[in-house]
Amino acid sequence: MSSQAKPSSAIQVAELRRMREAGEKIVALTCYDASFAYLEDRAGVDVVLVGDSLGMVIQGRNSTTAVTVTDIAYHSRLVAPFLQRAFLVSDLPFLSFATRERALDASQRLMQEGGAKMVKLEGGREQADIVEYLSVRGVPVCAHLGLQPQLIHKMGAFKVQGREDAAAEAMVRDAKILEEAGADLMVLECIPSSLGKRITEQAHIPVIGIGAGPDVSGQILVLQDILNISPMVTLGHKPRFVKNYMEGAPDIEGAIRAYVQEVRSGKYPAPEHCFQ
């Protein structure tokens, strides 16, 4: 058998679904370059996200809105070749999915040029049409509900979402609509733990939380946050859900391994990382 024909140990959507069903926690982490891609893959991270958070942690901007499809494709291309096992998701940046055509073009670039296996887009039921359009054309989609950093200029500040009953009900409904539209994965950002639990229990797809409590299928954090080197964290604006894994770690790989181990075992997130 040639090496190309060997069965691959690379994670696919079906494996993420299996993990969800088996109650095995999925470990996700952002990544933007080759060196860290190699370390994250080796440390056992399941899902690697080339997120538009690169606007803040790599480009040094104070929001994600200036990030382009070219930026995400570029960083995805750096990361993809170093993932033997982890599943690569790349972000559709601000306005790149404003129309069906733009969403399809951007997804094509991220998958063909960048090597992404899935694209992620922010938004609720208003994005269901785009999710369905991509999904039926063979583009796996990760939905992103709760705090949507791309809306910063409308919201004015990053804050916990879904605390009021009406907003929580709307988010539960949005999650169902996006799943029915074809989303294969979902990220929930900055919401009360009880709402994260409710959406996860209702879903038939894996739900990855960032500040969404412990009762979700897995966790994601921004790499620079767990290494305690992101500009926001070093300037003293540490979001509640961030944990510094450099503390007590022998080196960077050790910090990433500690994160993987704590997500898998359920030690992270602890109550101090969660919202009521």
Query: Distance between CA atoms of 178 and 107, rounded to whole angstroms?
Result: 17
Q: Which stretch, 46-54, 99-107, 178-186, 193-201, contacts ligand KIV (CB under 6 A)?
A: 46-54
189 belongs to the catalytic site:
yes
Least spacing, CB of residue 55 vs ligand KIV, in Å? 8
Contacts of 31 (CB under 8 A, 6+ apart): 37, 40, 48, 49, 50, 79, 223
**Residue whose beta carbon is closest to ligand KIV:** 51
Q: Which stretch, 49-57, 107-115, 125-133, 193-201, contacts ligand KIV (CB under 6 A)?
A: 49-57
User: What DSSP character marks residue 79?
Assistant: H
| Alpha carbon separation from 28 to 155, 172, 259 (Å, rounded) | 26, 23, 10
185: β partners: 142
Least spacing, CB of residue 210 vs ligand KIV, in Å? 5
Plot region of 167 (φ>0 → left; ψ -120 to 50 → alpha; else → beta): alpha
Q: Which entry of 126, 189, 201, 253 is annotated as an active-site residue?
A: 189
**Residues 268 and 262: beta-carbon distance below 8 Å:** yes
Q: Per CB under 6 A, does 91 bind ligand KIV?
A: yes
- At position 143, the amino acid (one-letter code) is A
User: What DSSP character marks residue 120?
Assistant: E
Q: Per CB under 6 A, does 80 bind ligand KIV?
A: no
| Binder of ligand KIV out of 52, 179, 184, 262 (CB under 6 A) | 52
> Which x/- pattern, by CB under 6 A, does the window 175-214 give for ligand KIV?
------------x-x--------------------x----
If the CB atoms of residues 141 and 222 are measured against ligand KIV, the closer one turns out to be 222
Kindly determine how many residues on this chain lie close enough to bind ligand KIV according to the rule CB under 6 A. Answer: 11
Query: Distance between CA atoms of 158 and 260, rounded to whole angstroms?
Result: 26
Q: Per CB under 6 A, does 124 bind ligand KIV?
A: no
**Residues 94 and 64: beta-carbon distance below 8 Å:** yes
Catalytic amino acids? 189
**Which residues lie near ligand KIV (CB under 6 A)?**
30, 49, 51-53, 91, 187, 189, 210, 220, 222
